[in-house]
Structure 1
Amino acid sequence: MNTVWMTVAAYLLGSISFAVITSKLFGIADPRTYGSKNPGATNVLRSGNKSAAIVTLIGDGAKGWLAVWLAMRYQQQLQVGDTTIALVAIAVFLGHLWPVFFRFVGGKGVATALGVLLGLDPWLGLATLATWLVIAFAFRYSSLAALVAALFAPFYYGLLFGVEPQLLAVFVMSGLLIFRHSKNIGNLMAGKESRIGSKSKAAAKAGK
C-alpha cells in the first residue's frame, strides 16, 4: 500500500509545472504559446527573462530530487524496497511530462530527470550534468545536449551501481526523453533547431 500512495504522490508532485507558474508570476507569456511551446526552462529563456528561466529550472529539478530523496530517506521506516524507489522516480518524471493539473501538457523533462538522478546519487547526477554542459557549450543546442546526456545516464548508473531496479527507471526516463525530443531530432538534422539563448519573436511580442 505504501508503494501505491508514494507513487501517486510523486506523480502529483511532478505535475506542478514551474514553467507555467513562474511565467505567470513574472508576467510573461505562457511558454505553451511560443517557441517550441514546451513548458520548460529552455523555452522560458526564449522570453528573454533569464530570472524566470532560472526559477523554472530550479523548480523542475527540485521536484524530481525531492520525490526521490524523500522516498529514499523514509525507505526503511515505510518498509519499501528499491522497486518502490524506481517507481517513484518514474512517477515524478511522468508527472512532469503529462501533468494532471495542466491538461496533461507538460515539458520534456530534462531538469526533472536531472533532479531524479541527483536524488538517486549526487555523483550520477553530476556526471550526467557534466555531459549536458559539455555538449551544450560546444554546440549551443539544449536538445542535443539532452539527447547525449540521456544516452549516457544509464551507462553512468550501471558503471556506478550495476544492475538494480533504479537502473530500469533511468532507462525508462532516457527513452522517454529521447521520445519527447523526436521533433528536435528532426530539426537538428534539418538545421532548423533553435540555439540556446535565441529569443522567440512571439514571446517578445507577447511580453510587450
Structure 2
Amino acid sequence: MLYFLICSYLLGSISSAIIMCKICNLPDPRTTGSSNPGATNVLRIGGKKVAAFVLIFDGLKGAIPVLLAHYFGLNLFDLTIILLSAFLGHVFPIYYGFKGGKGVATYLGGLIGLNFFVGLTFSIIWLIVAKIMKVSSIAALTATLLSPIYFYFITNHDVRATMVIFLINLFIYFTHRENIRRIMNGEEGVIGS
C-alpha cells in the first residue's frame, strides 16, 4: 500500500499544464491568466487542443494509480486513499514547490478508476451545470459537492470510502476559495473568456 501511495503522489505531482505550456512555447500557467496550472487556464492561454491534453493527462494521474491498485486487489477504501494521494500530489506537487492545481481533473480521473458510473455521473453533472451557468468553477463545485452522495449509493454504501471522497471534496473547495469569492462577488469568468 505504501508503494502505491508514494507512486501515486509522485505521478500526481507532474504538472502537464506547465510541461505542455513549455513545449508549446506558451506562457507559464502559474503566472498567466488565473495563475492556476490546470486545464481551464490552459484553455485560456493555449486553446482547446493543449487544454484537452492537459485535462486527459491530469485525469490519468488519478485513474492510473487507482486502476493499478485495483488490479492488485486493493479494496475500495484503499483505492480512495490512493486517489487522495494522487490528488494531493496534483495540489501540492513536490516538483513545483508544493504549489499546484485545483485537482478537479485528477479527482474525476480517479472517480472513473474507482467506478465508471461515479465518474460518468460527475461528468454529466459538470456538463449540465456548465451548459446552464457557463462557469467552469460552478460546474466543478456542484459536481464535487454532490459526489459523496452518488458515490455512496453507487458503491453499495461504503461509509469509509465515502468519507475519503468527502475529504477530497473539502480540499477541492479549499483550492477553489478564490473562485468562490469571485462567484459571490459576481466576478467569476465564463467558459471561453
TM range (shorter): over 0.9
Match of 1:172 in 2: 167
**1:19 aligns to 2:21 (yes or no):** no
Greater Rg by CA? 1
RMSD: 1.1
CA 1:123/1:81 → structure 2, altered by over 3 Å: closer, same or farther?
closer
CA 1:48/1:167 → structure 2, altered by over 3 Å: closer, same or farther?
same
Where in structure 1 do 4 or more consecutive aligned residues deviate above 2 Å? 80-84, 163-166
Match of 1:35 in 2: 33
**1:116 aligns to 2:110 (yes or no):** yes
Query: After superposition, what is the alpha-carbon deviation per residue over 1:49-100, rounded to whole angstroms, capped at 9, x for unaligned?
Result: 221111100100011110100011112xxxx444422221110000000000
SS in 1 for 2:30: helix
Which fold has the larger relative contact order, with Cα–Cα distance below 8 Å and residues 6 or more apart in sequence?
1
Q: Please state how far the C-alpha of 1:48 moved relative to its aligned partner.
A: 4.1
- Paired positions, count: 192
Paired residue type of 1:34: T
* Cα separation, 2, equivalents of 1:154 and 1:146: 14
- Among 144, 147, 165, the alignment partner of 2:141 is 147
- TM-score calculated relative to the size of structure 2: 0.96
Match of 1:202 in 2: none
* Cα separation, 2, equivalents of 1:136 and 1:82: 30
Match of 1:203 in 2: none
**1:196 aligns to 2:188 (yes or no):** no
- Among 55, 59, 62, the alignment partner of 1:61 is 59
- TM-score calculated relative to the size of structure 1: 0.89
* Cα separation, 2, equivalents of 1:40 and 1:14: 13
CA 1:122/1:81 → structure 2, altered by over 3 Å: closer, same or farther?
closer
The answer to whether the 8 A contact 2:126-2:139 is kept is yes
- Where does the alignment leave 5 or more consecutive residues of structure 1 unmatched? 199-208
CA 1:81/1:160 → structure 2, altered by over 3 Å: closer, same or farther?
closer
What are the equivalent positions in structure 2 for 1:43-192 lying under 5 Å apart?
43-75=41-73, 80-161=74-155, 162-192=157-187
- Where does the alignment leave 5 or more consecutive residues of structure 2 unmatched? none
